[in-house]
Every structure is written in structure tokens, then in C-alpha cells.
Chains A and B, each alone.
Chain A
Amino acid sequence: DAGITQSPRHKVTETGTPVTLRCHQTENHRYMYWYRQDPGHGLRLIHYSYGVKDTDKGEVSDGYSVSRSKTEDFLLTLESATSSQTSVYFCAISDLAGRPYNEQFFGPGTRLTVL
């Protein structure tokens, strides 16, 4: 299994509070991604990174920010959490080196509940 960890694995928070989720990889992969999973929608891309300090928006980026100061860490921040951000969040990593395509490997997920 690809070395990807997410912390915390579960979190319950109040509306309006800031929340930061962390994704840590030991594979030295260039690309990192944050997805959210909601019933009926599959996984939807929030933000992704293609290198240290290089990030871009995905399909559902409103209300989220990201940072990547080191290759191994990709942080997802909810500046002021809302109930609509209650979801399961997945981190993924990928790298093209030696591969025909950029296969993504997924972390274990973080369940976030905003009350």
C-alpha cells in the first residue's frame, strides 16, 4: 500500500470554527489531491498540488484553502466550517515517473462532521 496517512481520522466541530486536515505521504510523489465524498456524488476534487507551493482549484473549491510547504504534506483548511462541509475527505497522491498515466493512490479518509 502507498504510504499515505490522514489526520485526524474523525472530527466533530462546530459551525464557524476553523478546521485543518492533514495528508502525509512517504512516497515522494509529486502530485497530491483533496477530494470530498458525499452520497450520490462519488468523489469530487477540491484542490490539488503539482509541487511544493504549487496548487490549483478543483471542482468544489469554494470554502476551502490548501497549502503545501513540503513534498510530504498537503493541508486542507476550512476557514469557517459550515454544515454543508460535513463529508468524508480523501487525500490522494500520484506521480508519472515510470508510469503510463498518473495513477492515484488514496488515503484512508477523514470523516468530518460540522454541527
Chain B
Amino acid sequence: AQTVTQSQPEMSVQEAETVTLSCTYDTSESDYYLFWYKQPPSRQMILVIRQEAYKQQNATENRFSVNFQKAAKSFSLKISDSQLGDAAMYFCAYYRNAGNMLTFGGGTRLMVKP
């Protein structure tokens, strides 16, 4: 079974600074997707960014970017120019087409200091 590990239960960052959230996963598959979801206090799950395993180029969405290291099975999220609205729980998730199932990490709570 696939496992996803987020080793940082909590992180904090100063407003306008950059922070990186870590995620590692375990799989024997070659065709899969990786995601970062944001969950603000409203509890709504919001997709932040996704990475296809077959793509070598790291995904970027505005202030959010990933560092995808396939051989190391590492998938970190970098948030640049942090804003107060970035404060939330962040979940790393793994998906493989064959199984049609998402596997989530335990989450990292990000606090943004003004």
C-alpha cells in the first residue's frame, strides 16, 4: 500500500517570507500524481497544485511551486511571499490511475505571522 508522510506537524513563517513544506511517499508505481491540498479553518479542501509523475518539470501555480524528486520520492511545496490567507492545514496526497484512490499525508499546520 502507498504511504504518504509529512514530517512537520506545524510550521510558521513571517508574512512575505518563503516557507517549504515537506512530503515523502512510498510507491512501486511509475504512473501517478501528487497533490497539495489546502484546508483553511472553513474545512473546505482546496487543490493548490498537482504534479504528474511522468513530468520532470516542477509544477508552479503563482506563488506556489513544488520540488519533485522522483527517485527520492520527495514532493515539497514552496510558498513564496507568504500571506496571512495562506495560514491553513496543508495535505500532501498521492493518486495512481489504476487504483482511483487518493492517499493523504497527516498534514502540516502552517501559521503566518504578521
A51 interface hit (Cβ, 8 Å)? no
Task: Bin the interface of chain B by size.
Answer: 20 to 34
Q: Which residues of A contact B44 (CB under 8 A)?
A: 106, 108-109
Q: Which B residues, 42 to 82, have Cβ-Cβ distances below 8 Å to chain A? A: 42-45, 47, 52
* Nearest CB of chain B from residue A93's CB, rounded to whole Å: 12
Number of interface residues of A (CB under 8 A): 22
- Please name the 5 residue pairs, one residue from A and one from B, whose CB atoms are nearest each other, closest first: A42-B104, A106-B45, A109-B43, A43-B104, A40-B106
Chain A residues close to B by CB (< 8 Å): 31, 40-45, 48, 50, 58, 88, 90, 92, 94, 100-104, 106, 108-109
* Residue pair B97, A101 in contact (C-beta under 8 Å): yes
Contact check: which of A31, A42, A44 meets B100 at CB < 8 Å? A31
Q: How far is the CB of A90 from chain B (nearest CB, A)?
A: 7
Q: B102: CB under 8 A from chain A?
A: yes
Closest chain A residue, CB of each to CB of B33? A101
Question: A101-B95, A102-B95 known; A48 and B101 CB under 8 Å?
Answer: yes
